[in-house]
Amino acid sequence: MSGKHKTPMLDELEKGPFPSFITEIKKARNSSAMPEMADDELGQLEKSYNSKRGYWKHGGIVGVLGYGSGVIGRYSSLPDEYPGVAHFHTYRINQPSGFFYTSKALKEICDIWDKYGSGLTNMHGSTGDLVLLGTTTENLETLFAEYSSRGWDLGGSGSAMRTPSCCVGQARCEWAMIDTMDICNTVTQHFQDELHRPAYPYKIKNKISGCACDCVAAIARADISVIGTWKGDIQINQAEVKKYADSGMDIQSDVIDWCPTECMSFDGSSITIDNSQCNRCMHCITRMTKALKPGKERGASILVGSKAPIVVGSLLSWVIVPFMKMESPYEEYIELLENMIEWWDDNAKPRERIGELIEVKGMRPFLEAIGVDPQPQQVYEPRKDPFFFWSESDFA
């Protein structure tokens, strides 16, 4: 269909080489059974571009029976002017680990969405869900029946465990020290109740990266961050080192000079590493993968606390467990997760994230509650001031 709104501002954004979201919104009018949704989305957006403000109300109360998560209410504040977006709710489908799909599966999702929604999606939302953008309250139960009966459940939202997510890991990455996709899937399945029924003080996120490159931004965007790593000596294949050198790589300036711990050297034909000094940063391995492989004992570092700035500033996750084996069915990790979450759930105020709670209560009560010893790997440096607590147990 062609639209009923004139959109000169938005039309500007159809020009240029980068794919245009405006073209996408226009396109949705051709496939959705409710073309007025995408059309009024365009109309309202054009108005925003002119007035420099949004016209969405705070999320309302919508959901599917029995769940408190996965659907986010969205209503236009101008429903008379733009009736097509009077309801424009988000339906979050829990993505498969690693964002892998077959065309058959995706087309099935699209066909259902065109019938009961706007035809617009986000591939994917910030947390990881496959986000369907814009449906009405009355279609929610139908969507849930259609999708869940075909194996697609809702993801998390609100004060719940949020949909876990992971990097591509061992499916395609030679640097993956742990099976990120399996861990993600196992955790997601384990916490179904906590994902769908928001009973926590606030949101809690879990992301899993296979190595220190951290492609899923676990260290910055997950309350509980898992980062694959290793123990033991980096495995060196000197024949391959030589091949890199022969192919013209300047090993000294591209690799050795960047080693943050200055634990590597290159004598013109072979590499030596003082592994006791290596901090496993991954730089050398990513530069010369054929010649350098991580040590043989694989596992993960578990870090806790990261979040965006609301309320008292951003946090990056802190090292809590320097090394943990991560082998299916991941009982040790899941037990740790449960213990950390339980401590937070018992102690946090509403809308307090786990990192903020640790700041308020201190690291000691947290570590004691989850049974982790203090270790120098958890800090950059020890405290500077001479003010510190003693507790009864220290005198025993």
Restricted to residues 141-200, the positions that interact with ligand SF4 (CB under 6 A) are 167-169, 173, 175-176
For residues 42 and 300, which CB has a smaller minimum distance to ligand SF4 in the complex?
300
Q: Taking CB under 6 A as the rule, does residue 98 contact ligand SF4?
A: no
Binding pattern for the stretch 238-267 against another protein, x by CB under 8 A and - elsewhere: ----------------x---x-x-------
Q: Taking CB under 6 A as the rule, does residue 283 contact ligand SF4?
A: yes
Site for another protein in 144-163 (CB under 8 A): 144-146, 148-153, 157-160
Q: Taking CB under 6 A as the rule, does residue 320 contact ligand SF4?
A: no
List Cα–Cα distances, 293 to 167, 282, 300, 303, 360, in angstroms.
19, 10, 16, 24, 41
Peptide bond into 329 cis (omega under 30): yes
| Least distance between another protein and beta carbon 372 (Å) | 21
| Nearest residue to 355 (alpha-carbon basis) of 370, 369, 340 | 340
Reported as half-sphere exposure (CB side, CA atoms, 13 A), residue 102 has a value of 3
318 three-state secondary structure: strand
363 three-state secondary structure: helix
For residues 173 and 334, which CB has a smaller minimum distance to ligand SF4 in the complex?
173
Q: Of these, 85, 264, 302, 315, which contacts ligand SF4 (CB under 6 A)?
A: 264
Spatial contact of 188 and 180, defined as CB atoms under 8 Å apart: no
Q: Taking CB under 6 A as the rule, does residue 284 contact ligand SF4?
A: yes
Q: Of these, 13, 105, 110, 213, which contacts ligand SF4 (CB under 6 A)?
A: 213
Cα separation of 204 and 341, whole Å? 8
For residues 146 and 223, which CB has a smaller minimum distance to another protein in the complex?
146
Burial pattern 312-341, b for ≥16 Cβ within 10 A else e, equals eeebebbbbbbbbebeeebeebeebbeebb
| Least distance between ligand SF4 and beta carbon 231 (Å) | 13
Q: Taking CB under 8 A as the rule, does residue 86 contact another protein?
A: no
List Cα–Cα distances, 77 to 45, 48, 71, in angstroms.
12, 12, 19
Spatial contact of 169 and 181, defined as CB atoms under 8 Å apart: yes
Interface region with another protein, contact rule CB under 8 A, candidates 94-102, 265-273, 324-332, 334-342: 94-102
For residues 272 and 314, which CB has a smaller minimum distance to another protein in the complex?
314
List Cα–Cα distances, 302 to 123, 377, 378, in angstroms.
28, 11, 10
Q: Of these, 128, 164, 198, 210, which contacts ligand SF4 (CB under 6 A)?
A: 210
Cα separation of 348 and 55, whole Å? 33
- Type of residue at 108: E
Interface region with another protein, contact rule CB under 8 A, candidates 52-60, 270-278, 327-335, 371-379: 52-60
Q: Taking CB under 8 A as the rule, does residue 66 contact another protein?
A: yes
Site residues (vs ligand SF4, CB under 6 A)? 167-169, 173, 175-176, 209-211, 213-215, 259-261, 263-264, 273, 278-285
